[in-house]
Amino acid sequence: MTELVNRFIAIPDLLSASPILAIGLTLTAFFVGNWLFARLGKPLWMPPVLLSAVILSAVIAVLSIDYVRYQEGALWITVLLGPATVALGIPLYQQIHHIRALWLPIVVTLPLAATMAAVYAVVIAWALGATPEVLASLAPKSVTAPIAIGITEQLGGSVALMMGGLLITGVVATLFVDLLAKWLPVEDERILGFALGLNGHAIGTARAFEISHTAGAFSSLGMGLTGVFTALILPLVFRL
Partner 1 sequence: MPMLRGFLILVLFFLLGEALRMLFVLPVSGGVLGMILMTLTLMLRGRVSDDLATASQALISVLVLLIMPGVVGVFFLASQFSGQWLAVATALLLGTFLSVLTTLLVMRGVLRLSTQGRSND
Question: Which residues 14-53 are close enough to bind partner 1 by CB under 8 A?
Answer: 22, 26-27, 29-30, 48-50, 52-53
Q: What's at 123, amino acid-wise?
A: V
Give me the 85-114 binding string for partner 1, x by CB under 8 A, dash otherwise. Answer: xxxxxxxxxx-x-----x-xx--xx--xx-
- Tell which one of 12, 130, 209, 214 touches partner 1 (CB under 8 A): 130
- Tell which one of 134, 136, 208, 221 touches partner 1 (CB under 8 A): 134
Residue 5 beta carbon to partner 1: minimum distance, rounded to whole angstroms: 27
Interacting stretch for partner 1, rule CB under 8 A, among 10-18, 38-46, 168-176, 209-217? 168-176
Contact between 198 and partner 1 per CB under 8 A: yes
Contacts of 98 (CB under 8 A, 6+ apart): 217, 218, 221
Q: What backbone phi and psi angles, to 5 degrees, belong to 140?
A: -90, 35
Cβ pair 115, 199 in contact under 8 A = no
Q: Which is nearer to partner 1, 36 or 161 (CB)?
A: 161
Contact between 172 and partner 1 per CB under 8 A: yes
Distance CA 226, CA 83 (A): 19
Distance CA 226, CA 240 (A): 21
- Tell which one of 7, 24, 180, 213 touches partner 1 (CB under 8 A): 180
158: exposed, middle or buried (C-beta count within 10 Å: 0-12, 13-18, 19+)?
Answer: middle
Per DSSP, 142 falls in state T
- Tell which one of 21, 117, 136, 221 touches partner 1 (CB under 8 A): 117
